[in-house]
Amino acid sequence: MRDHAEIVVIGAGIMGLSIAYHLARRGLSDVLVVDRGYLCGGASGRNGGGIRAQWSSEANVRLMQESIRMCREFATEMKINVWFRQGGYLFLVRSEDKRRSLEQSVTLQNACGLATKMLSPKEAQKLVPELGTDGLVAASYNGDDGVVFPWPFVWGFAQAARKLGVEVATFADVLGFDTRGRAIEGVRIQKLNEPGAPVVTIKTNKVVNAAGAWSPEIARLLGVELPNKPHRHEICSTEPLKPWLKPLVADLTDGLYFSQSTRGEIVGGVGQARVPDGIDQNSSFAFLGTYARSLTRACPVLGDVKVLRQWAGCYDITPDANPIIGPIDDVEGFFQASGFMGHGFMMAPIVGKLIAEHIVDGQRSELFDRWNLRRFKEGKLLSEAMIIG
């Protein structure tokens, strides 16, 4: 590794790599990205690849409109196939309260220029004939939402960043920081895959914390407390079936979601309230039971399908289901990009660009004010109703 950098980005997931790539595109190639694991070892390589603009807040809708546009151009720009397919998202609700909330979200989305439609259960069944309608009250659908294959999406950002001079160092653990007052002067790092490797100090005065569920641990090394909590989320993949499911289906009642991959597998997960505390990426039998019940309620025909593979990753959860973005008051040059509730994957293209614009050009997005860290101390919490998983 180099012994100095203009900026050190901690976390080589999709968010950290997007930030590094956009920094380099703006002429700042003296960038070092470090990660204690391997590329795709965290949440970026363990998710379902969903990308959508259906949200309940205008900030998220408009952010994802631009991110979807960038995803559409990603393969051409990065010269890598990410199998981006826009089959839409079909959201399901099973109560009148949820229906009213969904209607409000659709009204907002329409005002932002999305072609989202409210559907009756029978209309939803026209999109997915195999859909079970028992207990279903309403649905919404936007055909511009879609899915990508996560791994090449991460690899594409890493490859493009490296071509622009960014160094991406995996198996590099951050042990601490050198500081002077409120300013950062260096990052202490040790390579984990080199036995007996010394602790080296990377001289820098700018650090981006994009470590996902590990972000609070990194911040704590600087005396900063983030309110984020890791939450294990499990997912599985079935045997391949012939193509039949076009949209990603999501149930806002229990956090179920499932889609069909280009190879034919049904890939999906479901929310679980009770999971082990802390970072845990192990799988459980309890998940399979919960997922099977929810999946077969939504789509009874899948009752006999065989599960081939199961895995887990960690959501990075904040108290108000909104991320923490931009600089903070307590430490100079310490930028945050965490707390995305499992949805940082889809937001990374545009968030990386906005953070890079701020660091290099001084352009401050209004999102930095909306999603700042101090809101938790000030009691100015936000809301977001369309969280799944």
Q: Note the pLDDT tens digit of each residue in 87-100.
A: 999 999 999 999 99
What is the domain extent for residue 346?
A: 7-46+151-228+320-378
Whether residue 162 sits in one domain with residue 33: yes
- On whether residue 75 sits in a domain, the answer given is no
Q: Does position 133 have pLDDT exceeding 80, yes or no?
A: yes
Whether residue 25 sits in one domain with residue 164: yes
- On whether residue 51 sits in a domain, the answer given is no
Q: How confident is the model at residue 1 (pLDDT cuts 50, 70, 90)?
A: confident
So what's the pLDDT on residue 264?
97
User: Distance between CA atoms of 174 and 40, rounded to whole angstroms?
Assistant: 18
Residue 350 belongs to a domain with what CATH number? 3.50.50.60
So what's the pLDDT on residue 29?
83
Last residue of a domain, one of 266, 291, 317: 317
Check: CB of residue 167 under 8 Å from CB of residue 3: no
Pairing of β 167-169 and β 31-34: parallel
So what's the pLDDT on residue 33?
98
Beta bridge partners of 93: 138
So what's the pLDDT on residue 234?
97
Whether residue 278 sits in one domain with residue 167: no
What secondary structure letter does DSSP report for 330?
A: S
Burial class (CB in 10 A: 0-12, 13-18, 19+), 80: middle
Q: Does position 365 have pLDDT exceeding 90, yes or no?
A: no
The count of domains in the chain is 2
Whether residue 344 sits in one domain with residue 284: no
Residue 311 belongs to a domain with what CATH number? 3.30.9.10
Last residue of a domain, one of 302, 317, 332: 317
Whether residue 223 sits in one domain with residue 324: yes
Sequence-ordered list of residues with C-beta below 8 angstroms from that of 90, at least 6 positions apart, any chain: 119, 124, 127, 128, 139, 140, 141, 247, 248, 249, 250
So what's the pLDDT on residue 364?
85
- Digit-coded pLDDT (tens) for 136-155: 999 999 999 999 999 999 99
So what's the pLDDT on residue 227?
97
Q: Does position 173 have pLDDT exceeding 80, yes or no?
A: yes
Whether residue 246 sits in one domain with residue 142: yes
Q: Does position 389 have pLDDT exceeding 80, yes or no?
A: no
Whether residue 116 sits in one domain with residue 254: yes
So what's the pLDDT on residue 106?
98
- Digit-coded pLDDT (tens) for 287-342: 999 999 999 999 999 999 999 999 999 999 999 999 999 999 999 999 999 999 98
Which residue intervals of 184-284 are DSSP H helices?
Answer: 215-220
Whether residue 116 sits in one domain with residue 233: yes
For residues 205-225, b (16+ Cβ closer than 10 Å) or e, as one string?
bbbbbbbbbbbbebbebbebe
- On whether residue 103 sits in a domain, the answer given is yes
Whether residue 308 sits in one domain with residue 253: yes
Whether residue 307 sits in one domain with residue 161: no
